[in-house]
Structure 1
Amino acid sequence: MTYRILIVDDNEDILEFLSQVLGDTYTLHLAGNGEIAQKILDAEIVDLIISDIMMPGIDGFELCQLIKSNVEYCHIPVVLLTVKNTYQSHIEGLEVGADLYIQKPFSAELLQLQIANLLENRAKIKTHFASSPFEDVRVMAHSKTDEAFLNKLDEYIRKNISDPNLHIDQLAEHMNMSRPTLYRKIKSLSTLSPKELINITRLKKATRLIAQNEFTMSEITRMVGYSSQSLFNKNFQRYFNVSPGEYINSLDKDQAN
């Protein structure tokens, strides 16, 4: 996977420099001001934002605050670049929700390492959620806004989990978002498409039902919205790296111990 970074700076020399530093590793979107940055955010999936603070119009602090207060992209990490090296500017950066605050001039190598670490840490959380049968969706939340969004989304999916035809249009209507906006939000938060998120929520529900040992496997398959036992088995194996039968055996061993 190639991460997508939005760079916001009114200085063309800085945009060119950062493009040279990061262009071989990441897919880049460039914006000369905050207004252009917002248009890009409304149209593209962005994994990280690097913004200068001192810009005409919407400055970096204002842009960061707009991003972190908007449910559609508050999950995106923001790196602020500044020539200021004052205690107050650092405080202001933290108050608007910046994830990193880097002073100019900066080492290209240090910037690359900090960005890579930030993205890698987020990727580990996403992978952990997708591959862990009992992990709650809220583990991917990076703010209270994200947590409320994920709670609302997860509750709706679970309420309608037995419906094999549950799809993104229903989710978008429930979340009061357009289909493209919801897709970008879910994809960026989890690396999963809405269809995949619905699927993995079905499977996580199935693991809990299996552990209760009150239903047959065919009953569980229907309860979580699968019309085909073979498709259920295939997806269970794909996400959790064990078959439903192997999962049952592992639970029996745990209980025996």
Structure 2
Amino acid sequence: MNVKNDKENETGKPTLIIADDHLEILDFIADDLSESYTTLKAINGQEILDLLAQHTVQLIISDVMMPIMDGFELCRIIKSDVEFSHIPIILLTAKNTLQSKIKGLEEGADAYIEKPFSVAHLQAQIHSLLANRNKVREFFVSSPLAHINTMAHNKADEIFLEKLNQLIQEHIADPELDVEKLAQMMYMSRPTLYRKIKAISDLTPNDLINISRLKKAAELLSLGQYKIFEIAYMVGYNSQTHFGRNFQKQFGITPSEYIEQQKSKNK
């Protein structure tokens, strides 16, 4: 099992991999972005994969035409790998044909920028991709009825989140449900599951389990068929008081207030 090197995350900056076989271009882009991001450099797709095995990465910028493994093949591999499919990829290319753009997007690229390009344009694209993901995460966490799939940005992540959510829902009444049990049921190592959930949601697996409990509780509260203490036990809490505190902390409203809010909406 590879051990992730997260020293670069201590800076508080998102970590990017930049790949181009033209070293002058590679150094220029890396230098320009280094003020806002931790930058790792590669000269082909295989080196990117090697870096991914050692570092936690938030975004990849890759040239299309590279030796050993080009940007298209790299994109296809990353977007089909459950451990890395969540990472946004910006492809850079001198090819300005529509066919080339379509191929890049079909392989799963999140953005496509033609050379020569403005560095300001590249910076804006990076900021937009990372900011949009943060907005989606915040919406999921703060909205009682937002589904976990709102955080999926591609089919591989959607499949992963669907399976994860199904297992959590099946065992939601179990107060002992934790990352260890979830990793076993997902047939993943604990570190791999932890990294994947953290990368998609910015939550630990146990935090995600707890939020899923509270979201299920919100769904049950909105039905108006159960008492609050019954719902607390149905979603794995041993204490109604503990449940109520967590619910209010997560959604800014008590379970009782939430019931009244839902009644008002349904009138």
TM-score range, shorter chain: over 0.9
Matched, 1:82 2:82: no
1:133-192 Cα shifts (integer Å, max 9, x gaps):
111111111222221111111010010001111111222222222211111111111111
2:190 and 2:47 mapped to 1: Cα distance? 22
Aligned-pair identity in percent equals 50
Aligned match of 1:39: 50
Aligned match of 2:9: none
Matched, 1:244 2:255: yes
Matched, 1:217 2:237: no
Aligned match of 1:189: 200
C-alpha change, 1:58 and 1:221, in structure 2 (3 Å) is: same
1:63 and 1:22 mapped to 2: Cα distance? 22
1:103 and 1:76 mapped to 2: Cα distance? 20
Aligned match of 2:128: 117
- 1:152 aligned residue (159, 163, 167): 163
Aligned match of 1:4: 15
Counterpart contact for 1:42–1:181, Cα < 8 Å: no
TM-score when scaled to structure 2? 0.89
1:234 and 1:40 mapped to 2: Cα distance? 42
Matched, 1:139 2:145: no
RMSD: 1.8
1:86 and 1:213 mapped to 2: Cα distance? 57
Aligned pairs (5 A) from 1:22-101: 22-101=33-112
Matched, 1:203 2:217: no
| 1:204, distance to aligned residue in structure 2 (A) | 0.5
Counterpart contact for 2:224–2:259, Cα < 8 Å: no
Counterpart contact for 1:44–1:184, Cα < 8 Å: no
TM-score when scaled to structure 1? 0.92
124-133 or 221-230, which deviates more: 221-230
Q: Tell me, what secondary structure is at the counterpart of 2:61?
A: strand
C-alpha change, 1:64 and 1:113, in structure 2 (3 Å) is: same
Gaps of 5+ in 1: none
| 1:66, distance to aligned residue in structure 2 (A) | 0.6
C-alpha change, 1:253 and 1:92, in structure 2 (3 Å) is: closer
Q: Tell me, what secondary structure is at the counterpart of 1:49?
A: strand
1:151 and 1:99 mapped to 2: Cα distance? 21
1:19 and 1:228 mapped to 2: Cα distance? 52
Q: Tell me, what secondary structure is at the counterpart of 1:45?
A: coil
- What letter is aligned with 2:44? N
Counterpart contact for 2:86–2:200, Cα < 8 Å: yes
1:245 and 1:4 mapped to 2: Cα distance? 43
Counterpart contact for 1:221–1:229, Cα < 8 Å: yes
1:74-122 Cα shifts (integer Å, max 9, x gaps):
1211101112222332222122111111112211111111111122122
Gaps of 5+ in 2: 1-11
